[in-house]
Amino acid sequence: MEFQYHDIAGMIDHSLLKPTLTTEELEAGCQLALTYEVASVCIMPFYLKRCAELLKGSTVKASTTIGFPHGGHTTYVKQIEAELAIADGCEELDMVVNISRVLSGEWKYVADEIAAVTKIAHQAGPKIKVIFENCYLDQVQKIELCRICGELGVDWVKTSTGYGTGGATIEDLKLMRAESPPEVQVKAAGGVRTFDKLLEVRALGVSRVGASATREILDHCRERLELPAITCE
């Protein structure tokens, strides 16, 4: 095989963003992430502090969303969200761009907002992923966002929230990888539900995927590698 188990597990941001998520499901989701040793848990902001407590001392990072899911928060609110998230133990921020401003071609506004939140994240230590929500954008807009994010030194560009009209596509992932500097990583979100699909996007240069089907993906990975099955309640 061209990969080890931890290469694959380390690509997964375990998504716990359903609005119907209960406290019990939060606890179980974090335990699953710890057991399978994924990259991070991406949780709604109000659960973040508890999530960070549960993951403390492990290699699994606590992450949360900024301006989720439509990106329509004011820049000031996104900045406050970032500051509060970092205070609650967040290690990675997933920020949605202002989609309306992108569609309006107001690139200075878009760039200033990404810069403001990126500055807060990087000054405190956490990394930042910028979500484009590609299903609403044309190719020119996606390329311009890649250019802006590259110039601002964000850590990842990300395809989607999972709550738009479409998720990650192979075409978009190829474009984002090609149009972003090598140091900017690419995250696929929405639609990566199987191990084989994860391998497909990995081959394109994707380094992270947002997934709720984490158990299924990694059980299949371990089966393919002939590793013992993991037991997790």
Closest listed residue to residue 120, CA positions, set 156, 80, 89: 80
Q: Is 78 a catalytic residue?
A: no
- The CA-to-CA distance between both ends of the chain, in Å, stands at 29
Is the preceding peptide bond at 126 cis, omega within 30 degrees of 0?
Answer: no
**211, containing H or E segment:** strand 208-211
Q: Cα dist. 210→58, 119, 124, 205, 223 in Å?
A: 19, 24, 24, 15, 21
Is 88 part of the annotated catalytic residue set? no
Active-site residue, selected from the candidate residues 13, 94, 155, 172: 94
Catalytic, out of 61, 127, 129, 158: 158
Q: 12: left (phi > 0), else alpha (psi -120 to 50), else beta? A: beta
Q: Kindly give, in sequence order, each residue whose CB lies less than 8 Å from that of residue 107, ignoring residues fewer than 6 positions away.
A: 144, 148
94 is catalytic: yes
Question: Tokens 């191990």 map to which residue?
Answer: 195
The one catalytic residue in 61, 127, 129, 187 is: 187
Which positions are annotated as active-site residues? 94, 158, 187
